[in-house]
Amino acid sequence: MNPIAEGDVQEESSDLRHDAAHVVKTFATFVKAVSVSETLPQSPSLLYINLTSLEGSSYCIELSTRGYRIVGQAYNFISSEDESVFESISALLESVSPLYTMAFGDALIRKLEIVQQKLQESGHTDP
């Protein structure tokens, strides 16, 4: 095997695992539950995330080099032929979870209010 290609595969695999860990850490507050599947097979270019939306809907999400795709309506279960691929987990969640969109927007507003308050406290009053 070409050493460069092997390095690329290892880097891709590492990137996917990093992306999945980021999803679990960052989006846990915007969903009921999220974890990387321990049951479904993983490869350097493919892994699965189990997620329950704030509405209570369960999803098995494929993460590949193409992006994020819902492949099932239950944890560790691949049943969907839906070919809709999303560039980010956020875009995928916006398509299926209105409560995610509201929770994410509310969190963003809170962060902006904190920034505004800090600016006002430091004497910067420009909008």
pLDDT band at 14 (very low <50, low <70, confident <90, very high): low
pLDDT in tens, 50-85: 999 999 999 999 999 999 999 999 999 999 888 999
Residue 73: both structure tokens together: 């309506």
Q: Which domains does the chain have, with CATH numbers?
A: 13-122 (3.30.2280.10)
Q: What is the value of pTM for the model shown?
A: 0.78
pLDDT in tens, 117-127: 999 988 865 55
Specify the pLDDT at position 7: 40
Instruction: Express as a percent the part of the chain with pLDDT over 70.
Output: 86
Provide DSSP, the chain.
--HHHHHHHHHHHHHHHHHHHHHHHHHGGGSSEEEE-SSS--BTTEEEEEEE-TTS-EEEEEEETTEEEEEESBTTB--------BSSHHHHHHHH-HHHHHHHHHHHHHHHHHHHHHHHHTT----
